[in-house]
Structure 1
Amino acid sequence: MASTQASLNNANTKLPPDLGMSWQNYVVRTLASVILMVSCWAVGHYSLSFLWIVIFTALYVLKTHLWIQREDQRMRLRTVALREREFVMAQFAQLGDLPAWVQFPDTERIEWVNKVIQQLWPYIGEYSKQFMREFIEPQVRAQMPSPFKSFKFVNIDMGDMACRVGGLKVYTQNVGRDKIIVDMDVVYAGDAEFTVAACGFTGGLNQLVLSGKVRCVMQPLLPCPPMIGGISGSFVELPKLDFNLTGMGEFVQLPGLIDAIRTVVNAQIANLCVLPNKIVVPLAPNVDVTKLYFPEPDGIIRLKIIEARNLVNKDFSIGFIKDKSDPYCEIRVGSQLFKTRTINNNLNPVFNEHFEAVVDQASGQMLRIELFDEDTASADEELGRLSIPLDIVRQSGVLHRWFHLEGCKHGELHLKCSWYNLSTDLKNMAQQSWESEWLSTDKPMHPALLMVFVDTVSELPYPKADLEPSPFIEVTLGRTSQRTPVKMKTVNPLFQSKFTFFVKQPEGQELKFVAYDDGTKRAIGELTIPLLSLMNQPNMEMFQNTFTLTHGVHTSPIVLTLRLRTFASVAEADTFFDQSIGRTYGTASHIERADSNRVANNHTSKPVNGDVISTEPAKTVDNGMMLDAHNINLTVNSPSIAESNSSTLRHHHGLQDRIRRSKHGRSTFREGEIQHFGDLQLGLRYDDLRFKLIVHIVAARNLNPVEKEGQADPYVSVKLYPVNSKTPKVKRKTGVVENSLNPHFDNQFELDIHYSDLHNYKLQLQVKDAINYGVLSRPPILGTLEFPLENFNREEIIDNRWFKLEGGHT
C-alpha cells in the first residue's frame, strides 16, 4: 500500500505543465465574484429585499460546486490517460473500477495503438472538421427550432491531446470468416475546443470528457491490399459525456439548463453513432460494403415491466402527511429509449407495460433499466438500476422473475423479457400460442420488421430556377416517419441511411418515400411501394433495386434495399418457470401498498394476460395467482443480477416504521454463559467466465435469541473486506425472516472480484436480528462467520455446507 501511495505521489509531482490549472481557468470565476459583489451593492443601494442576496449567493455557490466537480473529473481522466499501469491501478483501486485490460485477461492493453493515434491526431483533426461541417451541422440545423436555423461551426480545434484506447478485445468465436469484430475502450479528456454561432450570438464548449466502448467491424475481407473492404464504428452504448460551455454559453451553466443541453447532445450522439447507428468508412474501391451499412439485426426483444417492490422513498414526510416516491422506469437498448408511465405516491408500483426493441448485436449490448422518482421542482432522483446482458436473454429465450436493483439500499423489479429471432418464413405472421400474451397489451405488438436502406438518388430536380437543392428523404410507413440527413447543395446525394419499422399487417400497407429540399421545404420527388410486392420476393428482400422518384414529368432514380422479416419465438413457454413448487406471497408484513382502496377492490380478481394483481393487506395470495412471479430459476447466470427469491421474507423497515413499532426488551447474559450461536448453511463458488464470486445464503439453524421472550427476526449481512482493511468493498443483505430461530433465506449474491485477487479478501457473514430494540440501537449480531478467501479453491464448489457461527450479541 505504501509503494502504491508513493507511486501516486511521484506521478502527481511529475504532471506536465498543461495539466495544471492556468490563470485562464479562473477568469470566469473571478468575473462571477465581481458580478455577485456588484449585485449585493445594488441590493443595498436601492433598498431591495435581502432575499435577492440569498438567491445570488445560492446560485453562485451551486455553480462553483459543479465547476469544481467537472474540473476534478477532467483532470483525473486526463492524468490517467498519460500514466502507466501502476498509476492507473492506484487511481482506480479506490473506486473499485479497474479498467478492462486490468480485470479481463481477454482484453489487451495496446500501447502501440495509442502512439499511432497520437501521430495521426493532426490528420484526424482535419477530417473531424470536414465531417462536422458537412454531416453534423446540417443535422443540428434540421432539429433546431426556427430561430436557430443559422447554427454553424465558427471554429473547430481538436487540440494536441489525442484520445486513448484503454483496452482492446478481438472476437474470434461465433464470428463469420468474412469479417473481424473489435471492441475498444475509448477515453478522451483532451483540450479540444469548438465555437458555434446561432441567432447572432457566439458560444462554444471546451474541456470535453468522453468515455465509452467502441465496436469496429471490418468487412468484407479481401485477398488483395488493403485486405479490408471497409470499416464501421459505433458505440455499443451511449458514452459518458461532459463539457464546459464558453462564450454566451457560460450564462446557461446552471443545473437545469446545462442538463437540458447535455440531453440534446446525447440524443445527437445516439442518432449518429450508438448501435444500431454507425459511421462507415469504405477502404477499397469497387467493393460492395452494403453489409457494413445495412447488417441484419440479431433479433428482437419484447419486454414487459410488471411491477416493483420495496423501493427507496426519496420523498420526505411532513407531520402526518406521508409522501412517497413517484416511480417510473427508463429502458435503454443501444440508442433506443423507452419510458413507462409514472405511478404517483407508491413504493410498490404496478406498471404492466410492454415494449419491443431491435437488438442489432446481442454480444456486448445490455438491456438497461433505471427507476427514477419523478420530481417537478428538481431533478428526478434515481431509485435503482438493472443491467441484463442481451446475450443471456438470447441464450435463455425467456427471462421472467424478480431482480434485485443495484445502486440503492433496497428494491426489486419484476419483469419478463422474450427473445425472437428474425425469419423469412411467412407462417410466423399467423397467430400462434406464444403470441397470446402479447395480443392484448397496453400498446400494439408487431409480428414483423421492415428494414429499409436508402443508398443513392440521382438527377433530382431544382426546386426553383438556378437554386440547387439540399435534399433529404422522408420514409413513411403508416403513422411512423423517419428521415435521412440533409445533403447540402447537390442533385446526386449519397445518403446510405438505414431505417427499421415494426409492421402489424404488411399485406395492406404501403411504404412511401418523399424527397424534400431543406431550403424551400418543397417536395421534389415521390415513390410508393406496396409491402405485398416485397412479400412475394425471394426471402422477402429487394437488394439494391433501382426505383423512380416522380415529380410531375421529372423522374429521379433511387437505389433501395428492402427486407421484411417475421419474428420466430425461441421458447414457446417460460422454461424457467418451476411449476412443482408453490409458495405464498403478499401479506401486509411483506409489502406495504400505497393505494389500499384499489388493492382491496382487486384482490379477488384473476390475472389477465400476465398482469399482476396487488393484494389486500393481511391476506395471502392464492398460490396459483402469483406462481408465475416467483420460484423461477435461471440456467444462465447473469452479471450484476442478484437472485431474488424472498417469498417468505419481508424487507427491512425504515426509521419511521421503527418508531411506530413496539419496542422489545433484551435479555441479559453473563460473560461465558452462551456456549453456541447456531449454524449457517452456505454455498460458495467462483464463475471464471464472468469473474464473479457467487455466495448463496441458504438457511440458519439453532440461533440464540437476544429478545427476552425468545423471539428473533433474523437476516444475514454479507460483506467483502480487503484483508488489511476495516472498510468493506461490497455490502449486501438478505431479506428478514420473521419470528424464526431456524430461518430459510435462499438468497444469492454475485460479488465482482478477479480470481487473481481472491487471496487479498475475506468474506464476513453476520446473522443479525431486525427486532426493534430502540430507535438508536443497532441490530444485535446473533452470530458471525469469517471466511478467508486466501485458501479458497475456485475450481471447487462449496454446496450448501453448514458452518458454525462464532460470537455475537453485541
Structure 2
Amino acid sequence: MDTAPPPPTSLVSFPDVERAEWLNKVLAQAWPFFGQYMEKLLVENIAPSIRASNTHLQTFTFTKVDMGEKPLRVLGVRAHPGAHKKQILLDLNISYVGDVQIDVEVKKFYCKAGVKGMQLHGMLRIILEPLLGDVPIVGALTMFFIRRPILDINWTGMTNLLDIPGLSSMSDTMIMDAISSYLVLPNRLLVPLVPDLHEAAQLRCPLPRGVVRVHLRGARDLRSKDRFMGGLVEGKSDPYAVLRVGTQVVTSRVIDDNLNPTWDEVYEFIVHEVPGQEMEVELFDKDPDQDDLLGRMKLDFGEVLKARVLDKWFPLQEGGQGRLHLRLEWLSLMSDASKLDQVLERNRTIVAKPDPPSAAILVVYLDRAEDLPMKKPGKEPNPMVQVSVQDVTRESKVVYNTSAPVWEDAFRFFLHDPVNQDVDIQVKDDPRQSSLGSLSLPLARLLNSPELTLDQPFQLQHSGPGSRLYMKLVLRWLPLEEVKSGRLHVRLENLAPSPSAALLEQVLHTNSLLQPARGEELSAALLSVFVDRAADLLLRKGSKPSATFASLAVRDVSVKTKTCTPSAEPVWDEGFSFLIKRPHVESLELQVKEEGGQPLGALSLPLPQLLASEGLALDGWFPLAGGGPGSQILLRAQLGPPAPGPPTRGPGSGGHCPSAAPRSHPEPAEGPLGRLQLTLWYYGEERKLVAIVHACRKLRAVSKELPDPYVSLVLLPDRSRSTKRKTSVQKKTLNPDFNERFEWDVSLEEASRRKLEANVKSTVSFMSREKEVLGKIHLDLAQVDLSEGGTHWYELRDERSSP
C-alpha cells in the first residue's frame, strides 16, 4: 500500500514574530474609511501643493481617488524593547497588492494620467513614544521603513504627463525613487495623538543612535566569472564591493584580475535604529557589459552594538562562494568636550582610504525662517536652504509662496576636524536660485556651548533687517570604546543554560519526524570554528623548530590549518565547518603540532558547553593542555542551523532547520500525473525562505521502464544558478522519498513577491542526459502564509500547462 512519510504535526514556532490576523481583520473593516481619508488628503492638501510647485501645474486636479477593495496586509509583527522605558518598538512586515485607482488631470495641457494598481512590500517600524500616565497612554506614533521597500506602481498616461514643460527631465523611475526615499530612514512620519506635544520636534528628528566604522579588508576564494575561448579557459574576476545602509550607499575600487582581493578601505555609516537597521554588502565582477554578482552578506547593526568591535570573516550567500573580511567598530555619540584631543590623536594613527576617519558628527535641525525678503513686490518667494560643510551640501525641500517657511528638516555631516571647520548656509528662492540670505558659522562656537549645542534664531546676512533662521546645531564626538581583548581564559564550567539551546531540541525533534530516505542520521547543527592564533607555544630546543599547524576533528572528520613558519605565536586566521548529528554528546578535538608531528598542546571542547553558552558560542583564549606554561589558542566556536552536505573549509553555511515542524495538511485526491509533498515557511531568525521536498506519489510512468525521478526548484522570475535547487535522484520508482531541505536568502517581503516552480523530472538516458518532465507545480508565494508555514500535497500538472 502506498503511504506518505509521517507528516510533521507541530506548528512552526517563531519566538519573536507574532501573526496579526486580528489586525488584518481591523484593516479590512477600516479600509473604506481609510480610502475616504486619502481622498480628502489628496484633494485638500496634496493637490494645492502640487499646483503651487510649478507654473505649468496650476490646473492640476485629482479627478478620481479609489483605494480599491484589497486592504493592506500585515504578515507578521515583532516587538522590541525600546532604547528607554517610555518607548515601544514594533516591526510590521506589510504587503500591499492593491487595486487602487487614482486619476489626475492637468486641464491646461489636456493631459490625463494616473495610477491603476500598486504593490508595496517592506518592514515598517512603528515607535510608540512617549508613553503617558493618562489616556490615550501613547503620545505619538512614529513610522518609517528601515530599508527601502519594494514599490511597484502601474502608471497610466505617464508619457502624457512627462510631456508637460518642466517635467520632461523626470521619469517614472525617478518618481518612484523619490516616493521610496521619502518613506525610508532617516525620513520619519510623525502622527501626534495628543495636542501640544512638547517632544514633537525631537521625535521627528531624533539624534542618531551611533556610527559604525566599516573596515573593508578583503575577500578570499571568490568565484571566477570570466571565461575565455567559449568557456574552455577560466580567468579571474575583477571584484569590487557595494555597501548599503538604507539610503547610504558607497562603492569600493575595482581590484583587477584577483579572486583574493585586498581593499583596506574605510567607510562610515550613521545608524538610526538598532536592532533592525542592517548593512548589505554585495560583491560584483566588473565587466564591460553587465557586472556579475559574486555574492552578498547582510549584518544587523545590533550585533555590532553588542560586540562594540566585530572583526571576522563572513560567508557570502546567494550563489556566491568565498568569504568577506570586515572589521566593524561601534562609535557612540559623546558630548564630553574633554574627549576631543583623545579622538583627534587616535584618528591621526589610522590610515584610512578613501577619506580620513571622522572625529565627530554635526546634526543641523532646520526649523523655520521669518521675514524673508521678497525679490519682487507683492510676490512671495519659494524658499529652500542649502547647508554645506566643506565639500558636502544638503538641500531642504521647497516651501512655496511664503516669506515665513517651515521646513522641520534635519541634516547630518561627518566632521574630520571640527575645530577648524565651518557650516555654510544659503537661503535661496527656487527655481530662480536667487539668494534670500546667507550665514557662515564656525563650528568652534559649539565647543564652548553647553552640551555642544546651539539652539537659537540666527540673523541672516545679505537679507532683510528682520530675516532670521531658526536652527538647532548639535555636535557629538565619536570615540571608539576600547575592547579589552587581552588573553582571556574562558572558563567552560558553571555556564548557565541559554534559551537558544531550545532551538536545537526542536531541530532534533523535527529530524526525528523527517525519516531520511537512505537511513542516514540527519544533521542537527552546523559547528563553525574560526582558528585565529596561538600564544606562548613551547617549541623544541636544541634543534631548529619546525613550522606549526592546528588539526581539528569531530568524530571521524578531521581538517587542519595551513602551516605557519616556526613561531611561538603563529597566526592561522582560518575557518572550518562540521555537520553535527548529536550535539549533546559530541566534542571538538583540537591539537597544535609541529610539522614533524611533535604535539605542542591540545584542547577538547565538549559541544554541550556550547549549548549552555549565550548565543550557542564561545569566543576567546583557551588554555592548551600538555603545552608550556601559558600556552593558549584564540578561537571562536559556534553552533548554528545545519547545512546539508560534507563539512566545508571556511565558515560555510547552508540549509536551516525550522524552529519546529510546520503544520501538515491532508492529501488531495490523486491527479493523473501524481502529487508532490512540500513544506514551505519563512525562517525569520535567518531571513531565509526554506523548503523541504518530502516525496512524490503515484507518478506516471512514461515508458516501460520505471523513471529515475528528482525534483528541481526555481524561485521565479529569475532562472539563474542562485535561484535553482535540485534534489538527489531516486532510482526506478514512481513513489520516491526525498526529505531534502533547501533555502534562499531573501527577505520576507521579497519572498512574497516571488513564485516557486517545482518540476518533477527523470533522467532517462545517461549518454544523452535527456531529462523528461513528469509534472510540475507553480506556486504564487503571495498566496502562501509563509509566516505560519505548512506541509501540503500538490497535484502535478502537465509541463505545457500555463502557470
Give the TM interval when normalised to the shorter protein.
0.5 to 0.7
Deviation at 1:438, TM superposition (A): 2.9
Q: Does 1:751 align with 2:661?
A: no
CA distance in 2, matches of 1:733, 1:251: 58
Indicate which of 735, 758, 762 corresponds to 2:648: 735
| Alignment partner of 1:418 is 2:329 | yes
Matched, 1:559 2:470: yes
Matched, 1:350 2:278: no
Q: 1:234 to 1:686 in 2, by over 3 A?
A: farther
Give the superposition deviation at 1:529: 2.1
Residue of structure 2 in register with 1:401 after alignment: 312
Find 1:360's aligned residue among 272, 277, 287.
272
* Offset of residue 389 of structure 1: 1.3
1:287 aligns with 2:287: no
**Does residue 580 in structure 1 map to residue 492 in structure 2?**
no
Hey, what's the Cα distance between the residues in 1 that align with 2:63 and 2:127? 32
Cα distance per residue 1:626-653 (max 9 Å; x no partner): 94854799xxxxxxxxxxxx9x9xxxxx
1:166 matched to 2:75 = yes
- The 8 Å contact of residues 186 and 212 in structure 1, kept in 2 or not, is answered as yes
C-alpha contact 1:447 1:566 (8 A) present in aligned 2: yes
CA distance in 2, matches of 1:454, 1:628: 52
CA contact 1:423–1:568 (8 Å) conserved in 2? yes
CA contact (8 A) 2:239 2:285 kept: yes
Residues 392-449 of structure 1, C-alpha deviations (whole Å, 9 max, x = no match): 1111111112111111152211111111111112233224686466344332211101
Q: 2:130 aligns with which of 207, 217, 220?
A: 220
Aligned twin of 1:595: none
* SS of equivalent residue, structure 2 residue 18: coil
Correspondence 1:473 to 2:385:
yes
**SS of equivalent to 2:444:** helix
Please tell me whether the aligned partners of residues 75 and 94 of structure 2 are also in contact (alpha carbons under 8 angstroms). yes
Aligned pairs (5 A) from 1:582-661: 627=571, 629-630=573-574
Q: Tell me if the contact between 2:129 and 2:139 (Cα under 8 Å) persists in the aligned partners.
A: yes
Other-structure match for 1:191: 99
8 Å contact from structure 1 (residues 692, 752) kept in 2: no
Deviation track 1:730-755 (CA, whole Å, cap 9, x = no partner) reads 6455436xxxxxxxx88676725213
Following the alignment from structure 2 to structure 1, what is the Cα–Cα distance between the partners of residues 27 and 609? 38
Partner SS, residue 533 of structure 1: helix
Equivalent residues in 2 for 1:255-654 (5 A)? 264-265=174-175, 267-269=177-179, 271-288=181-198, 289-318=200-229, 322-378=234-290, 380-431=291-342, 435=347, 438-543=350-455, 545-572=456-483, 578-580=532-534, 627=571, 629-630=573-574
The CA distance in 2 between the partners of 1:623 and 1:523, in whole Å, is 68
What root-mean-square deviation, in Å, do the aligned CA atoms of Structure 1 and Structure 2 show? 5.1
8 Å CA contact 1:121–1:162 kept in 2: the answer is no
Q: How far apart in 2 are the matches of 1:242 and 1:625?
A: 56
Query: Sequence identity of aligned pairs in percent?
Result: 24
**Counterpart of 2:534 in structure 1: which amino acid?**
S
Deviations along 1:92-147, one digit per CA (max 9) or x if unpaired, are x9xxxx9xx973454241423423542432134225526655678999x8xxxxx9
In structure 1, C-alpha distance between the alignment counterparts of 2:567 and 2:115, rounded to whole Å: 59
Aligned to 2:144: 234
Judged with a 3 Å threshold, the aligned counterparts in structure 2 of structure 1 residues 426 and 203 are, in CA distance, closer, same or farther, namely same
1:251: Cα distance to partner?
Answer: 14
1:122 aligns with 2:35: yes
TM-score where L is the length of structure 1: 0.58
SS in 2 for 1:361: coil
Q: Is the 8 A contact 1:401 1:632 kept in 2?
A: no
* Change over 3 Å in CA distance of 1:502–1:270 after alignment to 2: farther
Query: Can you list the C-alpha shifts for 1:180-232, whole angstroms capped at 9, x where unaligned?
Result: 32221111110224567899776555432211111112333344444433322
Tell whether the 8 Å contact from 2:335 to 2:476 is kept in structure 1 after alignment.
yes
Q: Which has the higher strand share?
A: 2
Question: Structure 1's 151 and 481: CA in aligned 2 closer, same or farther, altered over 3 A?
Answer: farther
**Residue 303 and residue 184 in structure 1: after superposition, are their counterparts in 2 closer, same or farther (change >3 A)?**
same
Checking the alignment, whether the CA contact within 8 Å between 1:398 and 1:574 is kept in structure 2 is no
Judging by fraction of residues, say which structure has more helix.
1
Deviates more, 1:155-164 or 1:394-403: 155-164
C-alpha separation in 2, matches of 1:415 and 1:116? 48
Relative to 1, partners in 2 of residues 1:402 and 1:127: Cα closer, same or farther, differing over 3 Å?
Answer: farther
Question: CA–CA distance in 1 between the matches of 2:27 and 2:271?
Answer: 31
Matched residues in 2 for 1:622 and 1:207: separation? Answer: 68
Higher RCO, 1 or 2 (CA under 8 Å, sep at least 6)?
2
- Once the two structures are superposed, residues 594-616 of structure 1 have per-residue CA deviations (whole angstroms, 9 ceiling, x without a partner) of xxxxxxxxxxxxxxxxxxxxxxx
Q: Distance in 1 between matches of 2:613 and 2:88?
A: 22
Indicate if the aligned counterparts of 1:138 and 1:486 stay in contact, CA closer than 8 A.
no
Q: In 2, distance between residues paired with 1:269 and 1:691?
A: 39
AA matched with 1:268: A
Q: How far apart, in 2, do the equivalents of 1:151 and 1:476 lie?
A: 36
CA change 1:531–1:215 in 2 (3 A) is same
Inter-CA distance 553–517: structure 2 relative to 1 (3 Å threshold): closer
Q: Where does residue 789 of structure 2 map in the other structure? A: none
Write out per-residue CA displacement over residues 474-525 of structure 1, whole angstroms, 9 at most, x where no aligned residue. Answer: 1111111101111121222111101111111112222222211113211112
Give the TM-score normalised by structure 2. Answer: 0.58
Structure 2 stretches lacking a partner, 5+ long: 163-169, 489-530, 538-546, 550-561, 578-589, 593-604, 619-638, 665-678, 680-690, 695-726, 729-737, 742-803
- Secondary structure in 1 aligned to 2:534? coil
Provide the secondary structure at the position in 2 that maps to 1:410: coil
Displacement after TM superposition at 1:238 (Å): 1.2
